Amino acid sequence: MASTSHLDNPSVSNVEETRTRLCDEFASVAGTDRAVAQCYLAENEWEMERALNSYFEADLEKVFEEDFEESESIPDTKRQKMEEKPSQECIDLTGDSPASARKPSEEDENKLSLISWNVDGLDTDNLAERARGLCSFLVLYTPDVVFLQELIPPYVQYLKKRAVSYLLIEGGEDGYFTGMMLKKSRVKFIESEIVTYPTTQMMRNLLVAQITFKGQKLCLMTSHLESCKGHAGERMTQLRVVMQRMKEAPDDVTVLFGGDTNLRDAEVTKVGLAPGVCDVWERLGKQEHCRYTWDTKANSNKTVPYVSRCRFDRIYFRPATKDGIPRLAPDHMALVGLEKLDCGRYISDHWGIYCSFSSG
């Protein structure tokens, strides 16, 4: 937000210009028109984060009305029994399915699996069904690690209620933000931190977590880099922060970054990857069916008057280099979320990325 503290009496034109810009930014983030943006900003003294929080909180009940209605439809006697036994109140939608209950092979047991997905929480249409759809993919793939972007507080609340076999780490509290989900039975969480991007105009940051998997040290990172073609400079600055963190990780630590990068290939070429870092899609042979994670030709969630096919969502990997320790290596990638839900929409306007890493 621009500051006018250096002006004792800011002119009407300066105030108008600042507030017009704020309305445009709010509308872009929340997916609203400028009239709605102006209403929420004016009610919150033109403070962007307060206005966004107010907007999303007001939408909470509408977003998950189906889930709440389902709860309200439970007979009083049954609800009373459930309340007497709180452990039965949260149905884990992400526990192992019967099909996956068989004992995995030793090779599969030692593989690390990951899903990275921009879940488009800013689009509140059919969000309850779309959130349930995400949980169904967690059952299907049982990933050890999940990177999520564009979460909003109601979405986080839902995941905490329905995905209890995962530890959820939030990259923020206000507006929209990133998150990580760690499979409790497979991953040991050590600590996390949020790295700020000082010059972001879109509330973006880098969420970092230290974990262990099968005795191996891993540093996990996720981010949602600055959006839109006009913000390439800031996006490249943020990529440099990511690469610096990957470079600085100790040599006995494997580093995994995933997220909605909004990157164009020319921008990556200009910044360059840190030593030892690879783009997993490229490492696995640049398979065409995994290229486009943002594809308005195939995904109809966003109605736009043009076709846009981009590889916005990416996974970067830096293996541990210290001698004498097991090393992970990427061995598979696929796009997920390609099927429409019963509501006629997809889980997100982005496809998710599923990756697995073998241990050698």
Active site residues per annotation: 260
Of 178, 184, 181, the C-alpha closest to 152 is 178
Distance between CA atoms of residues 60 and 234, nearest Å: 31
Distance between CA atoms of residues 59 and 21, nearest Å: 24
Q: Which two tokens stand for residue 208?
A: 């970092």
- Contact (Cβ atoms closer than 8 angstroms) between residue 158 and residue 141: no
Q: What is the DSSP letter of 103?
A: P
Q: How far apart are the first and last CA of the chain?
A: 49
Helix (H, G, I), strand (E, B) or coil at 354: strand
CA 263 to chain centre: 16
CA 163 to chain centre: 15
In DSSP terms, 213 is beta-bridged to 216
Cα–Cα separations (whole angstroms), residue 26 to 4, 52, 53, 133? 19, 7, 11, 28
Distance between CA atoms of residues 315 and 257, nearest Å: 6
C-alpha count within 13 angstroms, C-beta hemisphere, residue 35:
0
Residue 139 burial (CB count, 10 A): 17
In DSSP terms, 256 is beta-bridged to 220, 317
Q: What is the DSSP letter of 231?
A: G
Q: Which two tokens stand for residue 122?
A: 């800013």
User: SS3 helix, strand, coil % of the chain, rounded to 5?
Assistant: 35, 25, 40
- Contact (Cβ atoms closer than 8 angstroms) between residue 287 and residue 320: no
C-alpha count within 13 angstroms, C-beta hemisphere, residue 192:
21
Number of helices followed by number of strands (H, E) in the chain? 11, 14
